[in-house]
Structure 1
Amino acid sequence: MRNLTLAATALLLMTSTAFAERYVMITHTQGTDTFWPVVEKGGRDAAAAIGADFEYNFAPSGDMADMASLIEAATATQPDGIVVSLPDVGALGPAIQAAVASGVPVITINSGADFSRSVGAIMHIGQPERLAGEAAGRRAREEGAVNGLCLNHEAFNASLVERCEGYFEGRPLNMIDVSNDVAQIEARTAAALQSNTDIDSLLAVGPHVCEAAAAAIDSVGADIHLSCFDLTPGVINLIKDGKVAYAIDQQQRLQGYLPVIFLHLYTTGGGLLPGSDVPSGPGFVDQSNAAAVEALAGVDR
């Protein structure tokens, strides 16, 4: 009787494992950006909540062809769903379309909202990037900024370009590529400030860019209005110290957590799905509310 019970238990465990849902998330980080571990954590937390397996992948090279290959490799394993960022529709679109054609539902996150439906994704979760940039630009002008410069660390990323374009709404775009290397970001920002002393404001479109830009401002000794996107403990400290006017918070944990939950509902609930895309931001974090979110920066947002 004991052996029969053990056998039945083993069979139940094997069956449960064999039929566990499995979701794969692929994003465009090179592993240097502190933003993405929060997204990954959201995905893992969601998978744990529903008892699903979860895989997170990125291409350390940052190359879009390598990211497309990761999407193709994930598709070949036929997971229950794929979550993917979409910074370059030209490079990634065919791989996503192939996943959809093979029967794998896809949700895009973070970047590529305007192209999500065209590649066959069932929905997008992220921040309306141009609107977020416009909000950042309006506030900068209200706070006295006149001659701005946008620091973009991923020139290929259409969503980051949209942030910069929004910041300069109605004005000529002034944007430079600062690379994804922190030392280069600081050096290129300092050089830009030294070569054009009319610049009085900077928008950093990523948190590591923001921290490096603050260091560049200090090294040059300039009086610059600095605003940025996304939160880290370092960015929070810069806000508290008055070196960053505000940060745009897109609540990236939602970009990791919600797609796994929605894919679970979609695949197990007869196609249950929200009726529209989900905007995870934008919101402002400044000296008035930085203390309230400080403990969450770099962990859950």
Structure 2
Amino acid sequence: MRRVAIRVAAFAAFAFSAHAFAAETQFVLITHAPDSDPFWNVVKNAIKDAGQDFGVTVSYRNPPNGDLADMTRILEQVAARNYDGVITTIPDFDIVQAPIRKIAAKHIPFITFNSGTERQSEALGALLHVGQREYDAGMAAGELAKAAGVKRFLCVNNNVTNPESFERCRGFGDAIGADFKQSTLDSGNDPTEVENRVFGTLSKRPDVQAILALGPTSAVPSLRAVQQRRLTGKIYFATFDMTPEINRAIAKGTVAFAVDQQPYLQGYIPVAMLAIMKRDKTQDIDQTRKTLLADANFQRRLKLYGLVPQFGPRHVSTGPSFITRDNVELVEKYAGQYR
């Protein structure tokens, strides 16, 4: 009976400790994205799942209209509080570095993800960066287009306030031997505006052989513009990221491929690693990575959603991979939620 009582007491103490950890551990994730961009719904699902799996509370904050000045104000507010961990994008290093350095100066552990480079992340003092190298992703996409005979393209950029977004256009252009600056269109984020601008550009530039959209926000209205110009099936179309609409277009052959950067991993991994570091009182990235890879919940989610992270010595690469007509069925049911 005494042993049973000890075990019950130990279990109660553990349960109380876990509850206290969850109640007291507060993380915040900040992005540059407007509310209208569906890409970030997957990230939101990921941070919710990671919070549940690792017993932490995660807040999501962003500038509703994608205004980087607004994002800077959010970062300033975060720096003034004592969060247990911060996760942020780096859409424009020069604009956001000052408030992020204030977070670093308070010795708050933070991880960068999605936008920005590994070098920028290190310069700011982040523990690591989780995402894909945008130029490499654009280059890989361009190589596929080059193999299909593409020499001239239109890069539809709905996120021109993010300097890293141009790296996708530049990589694609370098791969096919085209000038990305002359090939890039500032489309804006309003669907009607995107459609009209793409329609107008295709009218003025009948030599365009391919369209590269930098996300579903620009891809879906661009597809409508292509249809209006009666170019469906005649123009090579590729995009970054997925939605159910994009996947249906891939299955039909209207879209050649989508570049998949696995946004679920971009949200899940930073939360999980910060939680492990907080719980185990360590900033040893190698040990934290090993602990994460051994975690049953993480492995279950990787298998369930067909996700493949690439852990380097410090940083984590989540892409690029490509969704084509050959494999779209494998991810179609999770598009917009977990893929």
Please, what TM-score do these two structures have when normalized by structure 1? Answer: 0.93
The CA deviation at 1:289 is 0.4
Amino acid at match of 1:188: R
Report the secondary structure of 1:24's partner residue: strand
Distance 1:81 1:14, change over 3 A: closer
**Matches of 1:152 and 1:24 in 2, distance apart?**
28
In 1, distance between residues paired with 2:29 and 2:60?
5
CA distance in 1 between partners of 2:52 and 2:284 (Å): 20
Question: Alpha carbons of 1:206 and 1:137: their partners in 2 closer, same or farther (altered >3 Å)?
Answer: same
* 3-state SS in 1 of match to 2:164: helix
Pairing partner for 2:314 from 276, 280, 284: 276
Q: 1:233-252 alignment to 2 at 5 Å?
A: 233-252=244-263
Structure (1 or 2) with the greater helix fraction: 2
Q: Deviations over 1:6-51 (max 9, x none)?
A: xx99xx5998278621110011111111100101111111111111
- Quick check: 2:22–2:56 contact (8 Å CA) kept in 1? no
The alpha-carbon deviation at position 264 of structure 1 amounts to 1.5
TM-score normalised to the size of structure 2? 0.83
The answer to whether the aligner puts 1:44 opposite 2:13 as a matched pair is no
Q: CA deviation at 1:73?
A: 1.2
CA–CA separation in structure 1 for the residues paired with 2:326 and 2:272: 33
Decide whether aligned partners of structure 1 residues 106 and 142 sit closer, same or farther in structure 2, where only a CA change above 3 A counts: same
Residue 259 of structure 1 corresponds to: 270
Alignment correspondent of 2:332: 294
Equivalent residues, number: 293
**Quick one: structure 1 residues 143 and 267, their matched pair in 2 at CA, closer, same or farther if it must change by over 3 Å?**
same
The separation in 2 between residues aligned to 1:248 and 1:196, in whole angstroms, is: 25
| Paired residues of 1:231 and 1:298 also in contact (CA < 8 A) | yes
CA 1:187–1:263: 2 relative to 1, 3 Å = same
Q: Please give the root-mean-square deviation of Cα atoms over the aligned residues, in Å.
A: 1.9
Cα gap change, 1:18 to 1:225, in 2 (>3 Å): closer
Displacement of 1:221 in angstroms is 1.1
Structure 2 match to 1:5: none
Change (3 A) 1:18 1:280: closer
Please, which runs of 5 or more residues in structure 1 have no aligned partner? 1-7
Alignment-derived partner of residue 172 in structure 1: 179
Tell me what 1:112 maps to: 116
- Ranges in structure 2 where 5+ consecutive residues have no aligned partner: 1-11, 287-312
Q: Is the 8 A contact 1:26 1:85 kept in 2?
A: yes
Identity rate, percent: 34
Deviation string 1:238-258 (CA, Å, 9 cap, x unpaired) is: 101111000100000000000
Structure-to-structure mapping, 1:111-150, within 5 angstroms: 111-113=115-117, 114-150=119-155
Relative distance call for 1:299 and 1:15 in structure 2 (3 A) is: closer
Alpha carbons of 1:17 and 1:292: their partners in 2 closer, same or farther (altered >3 Å)?
closer
- Among 62, 70, 75, the residue aligned to 1:58: 62
1:3 corresponds to: none
What residue identity is the alignment partner of 2:222? A
Amino acid across the alignment from 1:186: E
SS of residue in 2 equivalent to 1:284: strand
Distance across 2 between alignment mates of 1:272 and 1:105: 12
1:208 equivalenced with 2:246 (yes/no): no
Secondary structure of the corresponding residue to residue 64 of structure 2: coil
| Contact 2:23-2:57 at 8 Å conserved across structures | no
How many Å apart are 1:116 and its aligned residue?
1.1
